[in-house]
Amino acid sequence: MTEIHLDKKQREFIDEQVKAGIYKDADAVVAAGLRLLGSKEGGDAELRRLVRLGTDDIESGRIHEYGSAEEMLDDIKQMPADDVKKTGTGH
């Protein structure tokens, strides 16, 4: 089993969460924290991937400039649904 060392403030926080009835025990508090950390890191990794794709597009000249937001929206509306999903503008 993994041993975890917590400082006083961390132990107090866990105790407060349990006493408030938010979690049934300290294990549940730690598990929730780990889930949150995992989802944040996963989201950060996806964001880095999308930024890298955008940077690659810019460096390769795969860009289009619009004179207005309306022009961009008109262009998006004309895209096939699969293209909109790939670019991330469909959500």
Return mean pLDDT, the chain: 87
pTM, two decimal places:
0.50
| pLDDT value, residue 85 | 58
Q: Give me Rg for the CA atoms of the chain.
A: 23
| pLDDT value, residue 80 | 84
For residue 43, the one-letter residue type is G
Distances (CA, A) of 68 to 58, 71, 77: 19, 5, 15
pLDDT in tens, 27-43: 999 999 998 888 888 88
pLDDT in tens, 53-87: 999 999 999 998 999 999 999 988 998 876 655 65
CA 23 to centroid of chain Cα atoms: 24
Q: Domain extents for the chain? A: 8-87
More confidently predicted of 5 and 2: 5
The three-state secondary structure class of 75 is helix
The sign of the dihedral angle between the CA atoms of 54, 58, 62, 64 is positive
